[in-house]
Amino acid sequence: MTRSPQPTLEDVIAQADALKAAGRVTDATRLYERWISGNDSPARCVALFNLGVIKSEIGELEGADAAYRDAIAINPRFHQARINAGLVAERQDRDADAARQWLAVAEAVAHGQRDAVPLATVALNHLGRLQESRRHYAAAESALAHSLQLNPAQPDAIQHWVHLRQKQCTWPVYAPLPGISVNALMAATSPLAMLALLDDPAMQWLTAQSFVSRKYAFTEERLATTTREPGGRMRIGYLSGDLCTHAVGLLMAELLEAHDRTRVHVTAFDFSPEDGTAHRARLKRACDEMVTIHTLSDRSAAEAIRDRGIDVLLDMHGLSSGARPGILALRPAPLMGGYLGFIGTTALPWLDFVVTDPWTMPESVTPYFTERPLYIDGSMIPLFHQPVETVRFTRQAVGLPLDAVVLACFNNIYKITPELFASWLRILGRAGRAVLWLLDDNQWATASLRDHATAAGIDPARIIFSGRSTHAEYREKLTLADLYLDSYPYNAGSTARDVLDARVPLITFAGTTPVARMAGGLLHAAGLDELITTSWDDYENLAVALANDAPRRTAIRERMRSQSGAWRAAPARLVRSLETQLAARLAETSRAAT
């Protein structure tokens, strides 16, 4: 009896694809395994690769790893298998193995395999992403620089490379790269990075436009009707992945609690991490309903919003990390706007408005926003939180000198620009008893800032670095500072409110764009306009004057303490204004539709 001929690899691939399409993944896996066991041709590496893909997709990571390794053993130049093997190793928390696989692809180019260049850039970009996620910033920057040397036309790689330099305080941020002009670096800069680079509304708008056109090729639909049924409460939805101990979530509790439940119904469409904190539990209680959309597709999430009859959807991300613009593109609510998550124009065509205040967003910058301003009373950042009443720390315990004037800034390190740091060093030079207290975010930024201080003739020992703390601990540590020096052009937001809760005078440099004015808007609402400056000279002169005048600092602290009762009413005032403005804007939308 003659044996039936063994199927060709092409036949097996076609059969396996058909089985997968029918949902018979196990049968497809077995088909590949049978063919591999009965075949010793070099083509086995392709079958092994396909087997690895299937096993990876169904979570059989050990089997996927073995399949990819066997494929590489047959064909060491099978670079896509190395890339996939690295991804599996990453999922198994074997970072060193992942790096080895990806570096092997890059080394193939160094050994003359020019056909490996496209895959080497992919491998190096994965390496850069992995190193950045593990906060190994220098290694991540190096991997991306190598990738860009192989192929300069990679805006996504440039985007991360630029922000990595910001995070390390490696200046100038726009350093030359072979084949990449400064113009190309600027064009690929992320919207978030640009907020911290330039106080220029036109550049912020252009950056957002470029980012959205490059990243978000969604087809717009309109799931929601454009008219609202008369009567009943207005249904407001908050779309967020930050309803936890995150800068945005920390601002939201008082706001959500202040909504008038006789006027509005509040639903959170939530994809936040469950951090198990009391604050997370408080945010849940503050909503009439919290709908979990972690596992929902964009369309399913949009349908959930539409089906609940949401009148106004407030997106709390904009262009910040974790955004889900695919939900917004489906227009699941008649009126949609942005709030708090991104303090600049998003250039998202689906957002109708942005919640702000007249001080933070003057009319002069509105032409550079695709969203119409929706102005609320007071500061767009809810003013009152909870004063810091107890402190478990002493200056000695956190490494601060007892007799110094402590000038603090705990804003994110990437917000420090060369111009800002030079200003701080000039302040230290004029205020001889002062020390600067900063966040020890990463070893490269800390070393860079110390080096810049030394080059400017300032003893680096006068810069005290402290590691990250829990939110409660950090708020208590703030009280140990004498003055808080705000960053520019990216001001403190949520942190500024914490500084006021700690009753520490905050000096801000208010610029042109909202992100450079939000701390000033908070100070203006708090009645502390004398702490707002509008030039480097004024910023430095005020900092030096207050550093040298303890009675004046004490008087400001006492004013802050005496005004806390008035500040307590600020969230309710903000929310009443928000509700009124949203109702008016919704009525306007309904009239336009009819």
- Which CATH number goes with the domain that contains 163? 1.25.40.10
Is 207 part of any domain?
A: yes
Residue 328's Cα: distance from chain center in Å? 18
Is 228 part of any domain?
A: no
What residues contact residue 398 under an 8 Å CB cut-off, 6+ apart? 466, 477, 480
Looking at the structure, do residues 464 and 563 belong to the same domain, yes or no? yes
DSSP state, residue 361: S
- Written as six digits, the tokens of 533 are 């400056």
Q: Count of CB atoms within 10 A of residue 484's CB?
A: 27
Q: Count of CB atoms within 10 A of residue 565's CB?
A: 9
Looking at the structure, do residues 286 and 317 belong to the same domain, yes or no? yes
Looking at the structure, do residues 206 and 241 belong to the same domain, yes or no? no
pLDDT, residue 594, reads 66
Is 220 part of any domain?
A: no
pLDDT, residue 590, reads 78
Is 199 part of any domain?
A: yes
Is 576 part of any domain?
A: no
Looking at the structure, do residues 404 and 351 belong to the same domain, yes or no? no
Measured in degrees and rounded to the nearest 5, phi and psi for residue 173 equal -60, -40
Looking at the structure, do residues 479 and 417 belong to the same domain, yes or no? yes
Nearest to 491 by CA among 465, 510, 466, 471: 510
pLDDT, residue 285, reads 97
Residue 591, judged by CB atoms within 10 A of its CB (0-12, 13-18, 19+), counts as: exposed
Looking at the structure, do residues 42 and 158 belong to the same domain, yes or no? yes
Is 60 part of any domain?
A: yes
Three-class SS of residue 435? Answer: strand
DSSP state, residue 551: H
Looking at the structure, do residues 160 and 251 belong to the same domain, yes or no? no
Rounded to a whole number of angstroms, the distance between the first and last alpha carbons of the chain is 80
Q: Would residue 57 be called left, alpha or beta, if left means φ above 0 and alpha means ψ between -120 and 50 degrees?
A: alpha
Residue 491's Cα: distance from chain center in Å? 15
228 contacts 256 by C-beta, under 8 angstroms: no
* Half-sphere exposure (Cβ direction) of 289: Cα atoms closer than 13 Å: 15
Looking at the structure, do residues 238 and 210 belong to the same domain, yes or no? no
Looking at the structure, do residues 400 and 370 belong to the same domain, yes or no? no
Q: Would residue 269 be called left, alpha or beta, if left means φ above 0 and alpha means ψ between -120 and 50 degrees?
A: beta
pLDDT, residue 4, reads 57
pLDDT, residue 225, reads 80
**CATH number of the CATH domain containing 308:** 3.40.50.11380
Domain interval for residue 361:
234-375
- Written as six digits, the tokens of 514 are 């909202």
What residues contact residue 37 under an 8 Å CB cut-off, 6+ apart? none
Type of residue found at 343 = I
Looking at the structure, do residues 468 and 344 belong to the same domain, yes or no? no
Looking at the structure, do residues 254 and 353 belong to the same domain, yes or no? yes
Looking at the structure, do residues 161 and 251 belong to the same domain, yes or no? no
Q: Count of CB atoms within 10 A of residue 481's CB?
A: 22
User: How far apart (Å, rounded) are the C-alpha atoms in residues 314 and 218?
Assistant: 19
What string of pLDDT tens digits covers the 594 residues of the chain?
445 577 899 999 999 999 999 999 999 999 999 999 988 889 999 999 999 999 999 999 999 999 999 999 999 999 999 999 999 999 999 999 999 999 999 999 999 999 999 999 999 999 999 999 999 999 999 999 999 999 999 999 999 999 999 999 999 999 999 999 999 999 999 999 999 999 999 999 999 999 999 999 888 899 998 666 667 899 999 999 999 999 999 999 999 999 999 999 999 999 999 999 999 999 999 999 999 999 999 999 999 999 999 999 999 999 998 999 999 999 999 999 999 999 999 999 999 999 999 999 999 999 999 999 999 999 999 987 788 988 899 999 999 999 999 999 999 999 999 999 999 999 999 999 999 999 999 999 999 999 999 999 999 999 999 999 999 999 999 999 999 999 999 999 999 999 999 999 999 999 999 999 999 999 999 999 999 999 999 999 999 999 999 999 999 999 999 988 888 889 999 999 999 999 999 988 877 776
**CATH number of the CATH domain containing 433:** 3.40.50.2000
DSSP state, residue 7: P
Residue 79, judged by CB atoms within 10 A of its CB (0-12, 13-18, 19+), counts as: buried
pLDDT, residue 180, reads 96
State pLDDT tens for residues 294-336.
999 999 999 999 999 999 999 999 999 899 999 999 999 999 9
pLDDT, residue 592, reads 75
pLDDT, residue 1, reads 44
pLDDT, residue 354, reads 98
Residue 450, judged by CB atoms within 10 A of its CB (0-12, 13-18, 19+), counts as: middle
185 contacts 191 by C-beta, under 8 angstroms: no
Q: Which residues of 157-173 are buried (b: 16+ CB within 10 A; e: fewer)?
A: bbbbbbbbbbbbbbbeb
151 contacts 142 by C-beta, under 8 angstroms: no
User: How far apart (Å, rounded) are the C-alpha atoms in residues 202 and 165?
Assistant: 23
496 contacts 515 by C-beta, under 8 angstroms: no
State pLDDT tens for residues 117-166.
999 999 999 999 999 999 999 999 999 999 999 999 999 999 999 999 99
Strands 434-439 vs 463-466: parallel, antiparallel or unpaired = parallel
User: How far apart (Å, rounded) are the C-alpha atoms in residues 126 and 522?
Assistant: 41
Is 153 part of any domain?
A: yes
- Written as six digits, the tokens of 303 are 């349908």
pLDDT, residue 3, reads 54
How far lies 465's CA from each of 238, 398, 406, 456, 506, in Å?
37, 9, 12, 18, 19
Counting the structural domains of the chain, the total is: 3
Is 95 part of any domain?
A: yes
Residue 301's Cα: distance from chain center in Å? 21
